Amino acid sequence: MREEQRTKPAKRLLWRWRSNSLRRHDDIVEAWTVLAVWTVIALGGTLVGVLTAEAADDSFAQQRGERHAVRGVLVESTTDTGLAGKGTMTDRVRAKVRWTASDGSARSGRTLVNTGQTAGSKVTVWLDDRGQLTREPQTAGEAALEAAVLGTGAAAAFGCLTYGAGRVVRWRLDQRRYDQWGREWEQTGPQWRRKTT
């Protein structure tokens, strides 16, 4: 009795592959579609996630290599910006700074600096490999976290697209079955009505 109970769930799970006089070709196609969709989600989603995370991490590493910090001087005060503490996510605002380029020329521009500083304060500014102002690159830890989030998002998006494609195939198979049942009922229905009247 217990052996029979254990095999029933397995039989229900694999019913589309069992030989059965009621099994249709569409049932087999649906079974293989379901198997293919979940295999592609598991393997393809993992691959897409890993490749996306690696590409993002490489991009962040390249940014860290291309950007460098130089000392600058704050040209305008950031003590009374009107933005600090009023719904902003950070304590940083855009302000004008001045720095000396590698060729010795004086440069100025606007970049993000901490609030609460007065004009003339020393600040760190970040330059790209062309000497243009840019944002501070992410640390290795921040980059790894963002790469993991991007990889997870890419894997989830790939999985959703694959699952959606599988649902469309199954919907089309259901439509074909409904049409087939309708045609069969048109042939069988009149015979049943004659027997019941």
103-109 long-range contacts (CB < 8 A, ≥24 apart) are 107/131, 108/75, 109/133
pLDDT at 4 over 60: no
How high is the pLDDT of residue 44? 96
How high is the pLDDT of residue 148? 96
* Residues facing residue 39 across a β-bridge: none
How high is the pLDDT of residue 130? 85
pLDDT in tens, 62-119: 999 889 889 988 888 887 545 444 555 567 888 899 988 888 888 888 988 888 888 8
pLDDT at 57 over 80: yes
pTM of the model: 0.67
What SS3 state is found at 123? strand
The predicted model gives 6-35 an average pLDDT of 72
How high is the pLDDT of residue 84? 47
Q: How confident is the model at residue 56 (pLDDT cuts 50, 70, 90)?
A: very high
The predicted model gives 148-164 an average pLDDT of 97
d(CA 134, CA 66): 11
pLDDT at 173 over 50: yes
Q: In what order do the strands lie in the sheet with 122-127?
A: 106-114, 92-100, 68-74, 122-127, 133-134
Burial class (CB in 10 A: 0-12, 13-18, 19+), 125: buried
Percentage of the chain modeled with pLDDT above 70: 81
The predicted model gives 171-192 an average pLDDT of 86
Considering the chain, what is the average pLDDT of its residues? 84
Q: Which residue has the higher pLDDT, 176 or 25?
A: 176
d(CA 169, CA 162): 11
Q: How confident is the model at residue 196 (pLDDT cuts 50, 70, 90)?
A: low
